[in-house]
Amino acid sequence: MFWRKRQPLHEQLAREGGLTPTDQSPLDTPLDTGPRWGEVGIHGVHRQREWDAVTIAEAPELEGDEARFVVLVDGSILAETDDLDLDQLADALEGSVETPYRAEAVRRGDGLWAVAARRVQVVEVPEDVDGDRATLTVRNGERTLELDGMTAFGSIPTLERLAGDDVVVTAQRLDETLWEVELNRL
């Protein structure tokens, strides 16, 4: 009987799977570690900017931990959270973002608030609309209207005038006739 040393299983499987270097193997070539700046996997795709302005405000007398509000062109404030006096938070943003804008604020310690804002489009919609959210989709001349997530019949002429062709118009009621509107082209 011949005694020979058996090859370990992991080496045998690597050899049979083509994973061991040979004279003609690509594993013999040195690894290129140079940067691949043009590949998405390396540098990624940046996130879209969410805020147009961010600042810190001092408002120790404000209750709560967060606030959301919209400031209109005339300077009036529409609060979406509790009945807080949000003037100090809006004043902190003055000069850094044009009105109208939507803002969110979060308490960051003793009397300090982080306040962020982004410009929005506010439109007066005089029509009587049965809902607080509207989505108008126009694609190839066909119009679809949803109110509060449900398909609706009829139209909202003010939003349709804004729409044009191949667009999604999303609108959210701010008060009786004022709506925050966003247009996304298809």
DSSP readout, 34-50? ---TTSHHHH--PPPP-
Domain annotation covers residue 26: no
Do both 66 and 81 map to the same domain? Answer: yes
Do both 67 and 112 map to the same domain? Answer: yes
DSSP H or E segment with residue 133: strand 133-139
Could you give the number of structural domains in the chain? Answer: 2
pLDDT confidence band for 29 (50 / 70 / 90): low
Domain annotation covers residue 25: no
User: In terms of pLDDT, which residue wins out, 93 or 111?
Assistant: 93
Domain annotation covers residue 7: no
Tell me which residue range forms the domain holding 166.
123-185
Do both 129 and 115 map to the same domain? Answer: no
Do both 63 and 97 map to the same domain? Answer: yes
Q: What is the pLDDT of residue 44?
A: 60
Q: What is the pLDDT of residue 4?
A: 65
pLDDT confidence band for 13 (50 / 70 / 90): confident
Q: Would the pLDDT of 98 be above 90? A: yes
3 state DSSP class of 156 = coil
User: In terms of pLDDT, which residue wins out, 87 or 26?
Assistant: 87
Lowest mean pLDDT among 3-12, 30-39, 90-99: 30-39
Domain annotation covers residue 22: no
Instruction: From 65, 94, 119, give the residue that closes a domain.
Output: 119
Do both 109 and 129 map to the same domain? Answer: no
Domain annotation covers residue 96: yes
The closest of 81, 68, 179 to 134, measured between CA atoms, is 179
Determine the average pLDDT of the residues in 134-139.
92
Q: What digits encode the pLDDT tens for the residues 141-176?
A: 888 999 999 999 888 999 888 887 889 999 999 999
Q: What digits encode the pLDDT tens for the residues 110-134?
A: 889 999 999 999 999 999 999 999 9
Domain annotation covers residue 164: yes
Q: What is the pLDDT of residue 12?
A: 83
Domain annotation covers residue 59: yes
Domain annotation covers residue 42: no
Do both 134 and 113 map to the same domain? Answer: no
Do both 104 and 153 map to the same domain? Answer: no
CA distances from 127 to 91, 138, 160 (A): 33, 19, 12
pTM across the whole model: 0.69
In the predicted model, what is the mean pLDDT of the chain?
A: 84
Instruction: From 67, 89, 119, give the residue that closes a domain.
Output: 119
Instruction: From 61, 86, 119, give the residue that closes a domain.
Output: 119
pLDDT confidence band for 15 (50 / 70 / 90): confident
